[in-house]
Structure 1
């Protein structure tokens, strides 16, 4: 099949694009609100964009006529955030934190999660996350709106600190498979990798 995204002429029940660009890692982001509560929300338009300098990208959507999401507001105001990767044993809590709460209420408390202090930034880490990235805001870019007026803000963050659970480091390498990280597919589908193989790059 062929379709043009601007026309959505795919004749499917749902847009297939997110199901095609997959799996996508999930950024479970902690920020600090104006009243110093901890905000937590998951985002799957996320990835590492540079190793040196260490930088990540996350895109946060906004429906036309609605207020900006708490995560975006807090990052814009405080310039700091922490990205926690999601292990499979916390998948239900991750999903729970995608619900919209009144501003200032903490998803960490609502989902009965524990936190650990970060080393450099104020937003804390989620206990049980195998990898947490302490970030400061580098730049933002507002993407073009769609026909309904919905749009996304792309955030680029500089990683200033990396936490890796020591139990996933063996023989000088990070054993990603053992982390059992949750990734997003399309629709309501998620994935945990269980088939690892190595490929030798050509010289």
Structure 2
């Protein structure tokens, strides 16, 4: 499945605004949009756009996208997630800015360090804009922890096609977070490493 033109346009508008960020500002496009752009087979188009960053860059990104904001950047907590979160609406698409993201389940806890993942993030061109994507290793671990088989199976299938490209980031995530042995084993089984 190819990314819908409307979703791509919204991403390009966002990326155009974020070109004005400081040179060291780091953000990554994740979620279903990032998965489709990396060739992961999904059953439906994205319903929103997910942009991840670290706390140090969240305020700057929020201010650059402020014209599209529907709320303020602030803490968000659910039973398993915590982050600083803000919502936007760009060209008909909802967008979430997520910083300092953590997921904690019985299977383990994972704190997303966007700066550490950035060197492993693939870059794609979209209509003159360059966009860096959340590594598939992040998407795999995140979806295993939230038991989303419909996501982690196709992600793992894509990762197996180019292991040298994807597994250094996976190694980093596993080493830097607290995942239960059963989750590590499941990831190993899914990716055949």
TM-score of the alignment, normalized to the shorter chain, above 0.5: no
Q: From the two aligned structures, give the one with the greater helix fraction.
A: 2
TM score, norm. by length of structure 2: 0.28
Q: Which has the higher contact order (CA 8 A, sep 6+)?
A: 1
Q: From the two aligned structures, give the one with the greater strand fraction.
A: 1
Greater C-alpha Rg: 1
